Amino acid sequence: MSVLKSIYPQITKTIIYELGIETTKKLNNRQDKLKSITWNDMIKINYKKLYNIEKERNKNLEKKLEQTNNELDELKLFFKSNEKKIEYIKVNSLSYTNSQTAKNGYKEEELICKDLNSELIKDAFISVLGNNYNECNRIQGNHKCDIQSDNNILRGQVKKYKKGQFQQLDRHWISSLIENIPELCKVSQILKDLFEYPLLPNGTHVDKSKNIKKLCNSNYSQEILDNFLNVLNKCKKQILEYAFYGCNVEIKPEYLFGVEYENAKRNKIVVFKIEDVIKYLEKLNFKISPRKTVILLGDNGTISLQRKGGDSCKKSSNQLQIKIILSDLIDTVPMLEYKL
């Protein structure tokens, strides 16, 4: 045992020494191998690795592209085979929207009649409407009146509105406007070129590949534009009466009822004498909109004349639409209101 103790340190030193020699040899061999690899060899290795990565990536992209192309081909076939169905859905969707708008308008007219038949609201509007009218009802026909009392004393037009929102006041062909206001004949071509696209050979739809003629200096001289506005301003009263009263002089509205909506709820009813509205609007002047496609009355464009548009590019989209921002009248024209 004593002998082992005496030689143990020596054995340990020998093992450590031999291990050190072995490790040094391995390190030297590794260094020799690294030294034998040239810079070009390293570049070749990296390039090969990058090439393989890029090759795999391109392969995956080509697969995805092929898959996407197949999906697109399927979609094209689907649309082609269902083209008639899609067109049918589009047309009927628009018809449904228009139908719902009309139904909502009819509903509002019925609600106004119910309001005016109540003694509370009747008393609130007595200074404008008087109290000689009897029961009010919604009426039908080709005229501007929406509601009328049974004794024909009260006749009115009804508009739902929100603050700052446009409402349609009138929609007719340019030819109808000129027929009723012959003085506009001298500017009829400018109006038609502004609001009416040429028709396609089928005669039922407009050709949107053609351009309308905007009211700008690249199409007209300033003198022609000034003369155009002068003619409109001279015919201002006739245009306004045409928009509010329509062509049927036997049954024209005397009052304009507005029903303000907030958060889809009826908030208040306002009532104007149309005569007062026209008198106020007569003080304003026609001007051309910044986009040169709309004619505005007044700086705020309380009344605007523009192409109707929409209608799936049918011929009817070429009609002249006259719009009104009813809320603009509240602080400028005498009126009464009733909070609901």
pLDDT in tens, 271-291: 999 999 999 999 999 999 999
Domain assignment present for residue 204? The answer is: yes
Helix axes 39-81, 83-116, angle to 10 degrees: 60
**One domain, residues 214 and 131:** yes
Strands 155-161 and 136-138 come out as unpaired
Higher pLDDT, 195 or 101: 195
Higher pLDDT, 335 or 142: 335
Q: What is the mean pLDDT of residues 248-268?
A: 93
pLDDT above 60 (res 307): yes
pLDDT above 80 (res 12): no
pLDDT above 70 (res 95): no
Domain assignment present for residue 104? The answer is: yes
pLDDT in tens, 178-211: 999 999 999 999 999 999 999 999 999 999 999 9
**One domain, residues 139 and 48:** no
**One domain, residues 125 and 69:** no
**One domain, residues 54 and 190:** no
pLDDT above 90 (res 63): no
**One domain, residues 129 and 235:** yes
Domain assignment present for residue 38? The answer is: no
Structural domain of residue 285, as residue ranges? 83-339
Least confident of 12-26, 57-71, 135-149: 12-26
Write the DSSP symbol of residue 282. T
pLDDT in tens, 77-90: 777 677 656 655 55
pLDDT band at 138, cuts 50/70/90?
very high
**One domain, residues 148 and 196:** yes
**One domain, residues 223 and 298:** yes
pLDDT in tens, 207-242: 999 999 999 999 999 999 999 999 999 999 999 999
Listed in sequence order, the residues at least 6 apart from 157 whose beta carbon sits closer than 8 Å to its beta carbon are 144, 145, 146, 244, 253, 255, 256, 257, 274
Q: What is the mean pLDDT of residues 261-279?
A: 96
Q: What is the mean pLDDT of residues 164-188?
A: 96
Nearest to 215 by CA among 307, 145, 333: 307
Query: What does the buried/exposed string (b/e) look like for 212-222 if buried means 16 or more CB atoms within 10 Å of the residue's CB?
Result: bbbbeeebbee
Return d(Cα 24, Cα 130) in angstroms, integer.
117
**One domain, residues 66 and 146:** no
pLDDT value of position 36? 62
Confirm if 302 and 324 have CB atoms less than 8 A apart.
yes
Domain assignment present for residue 267? The answer is: yes
Domain assignment present for residue 32? The answer is: no
Domain assignment present for residue 203? The answer is: yes
Listed in sequence order, the residues at least 6 apart from 173 whose beta carbon sits closer than 8 Å to its beta carbon are 318, 319, 320
Q: What is the mean pLDDT of residues 107-119?
A: 94
Q: Is 265 left (phi over 0), alpha (psi -120 to 50) or beta?
A: beta
pLDDT above 70 (res 325): yes
Share of the chain above pLDDT 90, in %: 65
pLDDT above 50 (res 97): no
Establish how many alpha carbons lie within 13 A of residue 1's alpha carbon, considering only the half-sphere containing its beta carbon. Answer: 0
Residue 4 bridge partners (DSSP): none
- The number of folded domains in the chain is 2
pLDDT band at 248, cuts 50/70/90?
confident
Domain assignment present for residue 19? The answer is: yes
Listed in sequence order, the residues at least 6 apart from 165 whose beta carbon sits closer than 8 Å to its beta carbon are 325, 327
**One domain, residues 104 and 68:** no
pLDDT above 70 (res 103): no
Nearest to 239 by CA among 190, 304, 142: 304
Q: Please provide the average confidence, as pLDDT, over all residues in the chain.
A: 85
Return d(Cα 72, Cα 80) in angstroms, integer.
12
**One domain, residues 240 and 200:** yes
**Strand ranges in 215-278 using DSSP code E only, listed in sequence order:** 255-262, 265-273
pLDDT value of position 100? 47
**One domain, residues 283 and 204:** yes
Domain assignment present for residue 31? The answer is: no
**One domain, residues 62 and 211:** no
